[in-house]
């Protein structure tokens, strides 16, 4: 291994149909809520459903960070209840 060689890491693992997931091919939206004290803010984040885990749970690849702009390059795998995921129209 040489300096600069890519090591398989978290950003390389999530793949869907042979294509690396991006915000451009997000097929679903994840309903989220950010709470501070009594205040709350609801928002949606683009995601790809990777797997049905059974028991009304889904494994999804979520793009972005909260509802901040210019953070769409960040992607994380989350395990969520299926009622929080809706099809993007």
- Residues 1-21 have pLDDT tens digits of 444 344 444 444 444 444 567
Give the Cα separation of 87 and 36 in Å (integer). Answer: 28
Q: Is the pLDDT confidence value at 76 over 60? A: yes
| Mean pLDDT rounded to a whole number for the chain | 76
Give the Cα separation of 41 and 33 in Å (integer). Answer: 6
Contacts of 67 (CB under 8 A, 6+ apart): 32, 34, 41, 43, 45
pLDDT for the residue numbered 23: 72
């Amino acid at each position: 291994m040489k300096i600069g060689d890519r090591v398989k890491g978290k950003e390389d693992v999530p793949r869907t149909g042979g294509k690396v997931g991006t915000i451009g091919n997000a097929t679903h939206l994840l309903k989220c809520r950010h709470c501070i004290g009594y205040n709350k803010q609801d928002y949606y984040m683009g995601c790809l459903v990777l797997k049905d885990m059974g028991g009304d749970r889904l494994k999804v690849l979520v793009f972005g960070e909260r509802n901040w702009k210019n953070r769409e390059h960040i992607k994380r795998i989350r395990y969520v209840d299926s009622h929080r995921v809706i099809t993007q129209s």
